[in-house]
Amino acid sequence: MKKIWSKTLRPGEKWSGNIGRGKYIHFKALGDDANVSMLMYNMLDTSERYNMPDTLKAQFISSLTKGNVLMSDNGRVLASIVEDSLGWHDTISGYTTRLLTDEKYGKTTYQEMRNDWHRCGEENFKMELVRNNMSARDLVPCVNLFSKVYIEEDGSMHFEEGHCKEGATVTLRTEMDMIFIVSNTPNPLDPAKEFPSVPVSIEVYDAPEVDLTDECVNYRPENYRAFENTWEYYNLLGR
């Protein structure tokens, strides 16, 4: 496969861009305990975006792995997970805030530390939303790639330390043209006392056309219907 684009997302760094449908987005952790927070929006209509509740309830899941899809609030598939070396990616713990980051890792400023200051997911997302003609009102629950968070019997949320090792990978396939936003900032439940410094590489490739035998299409009947909705959307656009 020919690589279309690549980037190494440094610790604390953010990025957003337009990625067309039919692309592989390959993530690789370049150290232990990586976390990349991710948001997705329909490029043609940003009122349609990743919907965490619909994604989870339709697939009877609380985390994401190979075979799962990330659904929009219009019942369509924004992206699918086609490869995954970890088997679990967090969908429920959200992104870091400025208050949480300062309390956990110590208050820092750009003026004092330049690019080594401690960024947070919320601020990173807000800045990239503005760059894409959106605002803070467009913030939604994110996906945290490379992190594992599960619920204990008493209802408490537990972060599993050591889940992500250097070299871990996950590959998404885009099913819609999207605005893609990522933030290399810690999972809010990560108990580490030092701000994590793990770069993550991102590579984009062309993906083959999806057919009816695809694992993600057939994961559940709800997935199949969501793919049908997506294909109908583009058929009516003449694409």
Question: How distant is the alpha carbon of residue 194 from its chain centre?
Answer: 23
Q: What is the pLDDT of residue 1?
A: 76
CA distances from 232 to 112, 138, 209, 225 (A): 53, 26, 15, 10
Q: Are 46 and 133 in contact (CB under 8 A)?
A: yes
Identify the CA nearest to 86 among candidates 14, 1, 146, 12: 146
- Model-level pTM? 0.96
Instruction: DSSP letter for 232, please.
Output: H
**139, amino acid identity:** L
- 62 near 147, Cβ under 8 Å? no
Domain borders along the chain are 3-237
> Measured between alpha carbons, how far is 89 from 11 in angstroms, rounded to an integer?
19
Handedness of CA 169, 202, 181, 106 (dihedral sign): positive
Grouping H, G, I as helix, E, B as strand and the rest as coil, residue 110 is helix
pLDDT at 114: 84
Please name the residues in contact with 210: beta carbons below 8 A apart, sequence gap of 6 or more: 173, 175, 216, 217, 227
Q: Is 49 exposed, middle or buried (0-12, 13-18, 19+ CB in 10 A)?
A: buried
Residue with tokens 């279309």: 4
Q: Which residue has the tokens 């408490």?
A: 156
In contact, 94 and 142? CB cutoff 8 Å: yes
DSSP string, 185-239: ---TT---SSPP---EEEEEEE-PPP-TT-TTTTS-HHHHHHHHHHHHHHHHTT-
Comparing C-alpha atoms, which of 93, 74, 59 is closest to residue 216?
A: 59
Report mean pLDDT in 10-residue bins for the chain, 239 residues: 93 97 98 98 98 97 97 98 98 97 92 88 98 98 98 92 97 98 97 92 97 97 98 96
* Residue 196: other Cβ atoms inside 10 A: 18
201: tokens are 């590489």
Q: What is the pLDDT of residue 202?
A: 98
SS3 label, residue 18: strand
DSSP designation for 32: S
Per DSSP, what are the bridge partners of residue 169? 28
Cβ proximity of 189 and 93 under 8 Å: yes
